[in-house]
Structure 1
Amino acid sequence: MISGAPASGKGTQCELIVKKFRLVHVSTGDLLRAEVAAGTDIGNKAKAFMHAGQLVPDEIVTAMVTARLALEDVKQRGWLLDGYPRSYAQAQSLEEQNIRPDVYIVLDVPDEILIDRCVGRRLDPTTGKIYHIKNFPPENDEIKARLITRPDDTEEKYSTLLLSFHGMIVR
């Protein structure tokens, strides 16, 4: 299980861990985006929160995570939970279902760095690939021209999200 604030590097670290240990990467962000894209009931409920730069309520995220952990590929290969649990209620949900990690990794990154990562982040709407204007620029001018800033990748929205995140950390 890996945890950290948004933009702390969970996705990057997960790629390395999943590749090395052949685990199933279960990302709450990926699950949420897939549900929204599919237009499911859960996706439609989550969409309003996501577009406002807010965290999706526990019951929605928990339902998606537990459903994913019940699938056969996860049972066979094991899992790496990315960004879950984010609240005491989510942690309690896992505990009640006897779902416990063998290893728990916390990425602790200073807020100033998180804000810089977020504000500099750009999305390629064609490929879905994420870039950063300073740390991971696009390969060419064609890609650079089509990059967009996600609505929640502003300093104001991210600062608010960080305050919310810090208030929900399970300690």
Structure 2
Amino acid sequence: MNAGGLVPDEIVTDMVAARLDREDVKQMGWLLDGYPRSSSQAGSLEKLQIRPDLYIVLDVPDEVLIERCIGRRLDPVTGKIYHLKFFPPETEEIKARLITRPDDTEEKVKSRLQIYKQNAEAVSSTYSNITNKIDGSSSKEVIFKEIESLLSQLQQEKVKLHT
């Protein structure tokens, strides 16, 4: 991760599968953010018969993603994440202690982005029949509203199936 790479597929898949097997998840459902990231991970989920009802892709231009990542800062005291432009710290004291995470340099972000692009097509093809693209360069309010709408539609469809 510090080199800008990803955690090995087997480790992440084992962690995800273990968590999805817990009772609260079986009752309440689940949402995965940024996973699966490779065709191997998607294939592992398929073999375990773990399939999402909905696959959402946030479509964001590279320049925007890079700006969002390299502007992030971590408060080592509270663990809170800030962004120098979009979510600045509340005080100068907090600003003075902020650090850049080792994986948020421009070089490492570009490396992660390249890896993502290599894998995204294969993952999307696994879920092509349930994929929904959303403009991720919109405001978070607009994005949340679109996601909420997709989830509401899905819930309504499930209710219709069970009645």
Asked if 1:119 corresponds to 2:70, the answer is yes
Task: Note the C-alpha offset of 1:156.
Answer: 1.0
Q: TM-score, normalised by structure 1?
A: 0.69
Structure exhibiting the larger radius of gyration computed from Cα positions:
2
Aligned counterpart, 1:163: 114
Aligned counterpart, 1:77: 28
Deviations 1:7-35 (A, max 9, x none): xxxxxxxxxxxxxxxxxxxxxxxxxxxxx
Secondary structure of the 2:57 match is strand
Asked if 1:137 corresponds to 2:88, the answer is yes
* Amino acid across the alignment from 1:106: V
* Amino acid across the alignment from 1:80: L
Asked if 1:146 corresponds to 2:97, the answer is yes
Q: Which runs of 4+ in 1 moved over 6 A?
A: none
Residue of structure 1 aligned with 2:49, choices 93, 98, 111: 98
Task: Note the C-alpha offset of 1:127.
Answer: 1.3
Asked if 1:57 corresponds to 2:17, the answer is no
Task: Note the C-alpha offset of 1:165.
Answer: 1.1
Count of residues in correspondence between the two structures:
122
Deviations 1:38-84 (A, max 9, x none): xxxxxxxxxxxx22221111111101100111112111211011111
CA RMSD of aligned residues (A): 1.0
Aligned counterpart, 1:128: 79
Asked if 1:108 corresponds to 2:59, the answer is yes
Aligned counterpart, 1:9: none
Aligned counterpart, 2:146: none
Secondary structure of the 2:31 match is strand
Alignment partners' CA distance in 2, 1:57 and 1:73: 26
Structure 2's unaligned 5+ residue stretches are 126-163
Task: Note the C-alpha offset of 1:160.
Answer: 1.2
Task: Note the C-alpha offset of 1:135.
Answer: 0.5
Structure 1 residues 40-55: aligned runs within 5 Å: 50-55=1-6
Alignment partners' CA distance in 1, 2:25 and 2:78: 26
Identity %, equivalent residues: 72
Structure 1's unaligned 5+ residue stretches are 1-49
* Amino acid across the alignment from 2:20: L
